[in-house]
Amino acid sequence: MRKKTLSFFLFLVGLVFISSNAFAAWTQAKGHSYHQLTFSHYKTIKKFTTLGYDSDQLGGTVNDLDEPSHIIPSEEFTSTKVSYYGEYGLTDKVTVIASGGWDFQKTNDVMRYSDEAGPSGIGDIILGVRHKLSDNLGAGVLSSVQVDLKIPEAYDYNDPITYQSLGDGQYDLTGKLLFGRGFNWGYTVLSAGYKYRFENDQLGELNWKPSDQMLLGLSAGYNAFPWLSIRGNLDYNKPVGNAEISDAMITHSRPPGFDWHKDVVLVKDTLSLEAEALSGGLALAFTVKPGTQVVVSYNQDLYGKDASLGKTYSLAVAMSL
Q: What is the pLDDT of residue 115?
A: 57
The fold for domain 6-320 equals: Porin (2.40.160)
pLDDT tens-digit map of 202-238: 999 999 999 999 999 999 999 999 999 999 999 999 9
Nearest CA to 104 out of 90, 122, 85 is that of 122
Q: What is the pLDDT of residue 13?
A: 32
Q: Which of 9-23, 87-101, 257-271 has the highest mean pLDDT?
A: 87-101
Q: Which of 18-22, 115-119, 225-229 has the highest mean pLDDT?
A: 225-229
Q: What is the pLDDT of residue 159?
A: 87
Among 111-115, 185-189, 251-255, the least confident range:
111-115
pLDDT over 90 for what percent of the chain? 69
Q: What is the pLDDT of residue 83?
A: 96
Main-chain dihedrals φ then ψ at residue 290, nearest 5 degrees: -55, 125
Confidence of residue 255 (pLDDT cuts 50, 70, 90): low
pLDDT over 70 for what percent of the chain? 88
- Residue 94's CB is within 10 A of a number of other CB atoms, namely 16
Q: Is 139 left (phi over 0), alpha (psi -120 to 50) or beta?
A: left
Q: Where are the domains of the chain?
A: 6-320
pLDDT at 36 over 80: yes
Across 96-112, average pLDDT: 86
Distance CA 230, CA 210 (A): 35
Q: What is the pLDDT of residue 213?
A: 98
Distance CA 10, CA 170 (A): 13
Among 212-221, 259-268, 287-296, the least confident range:
259-268
**Which H helix or E strand runs over 145?**
strand 141-151
Across 281-286, average pLDDT: 96
Nearest CA to 65 out of 256, 267, 240, 217 is that of 267
Q: Which of 1-5, 85-89, 261-265 has the highest mean pLDDT?
A: 85-89
Distance CA 208, CA 222 (A): 43
pLDDT at 169 over 90: yes
DSSP 8-state assignment for residue 227: T
Across 99-126, average pLDDT: 83
pLDDT at 22 over 80: no
Q: What is the pLDDT of residue 44?
A: 95
Nearest CA to 81 out of 100, 68, 62 is that of 100
Distance CA 19, CA 148 (A): 15
**Which H helix or E strand runs over 63?**
strand 62-64
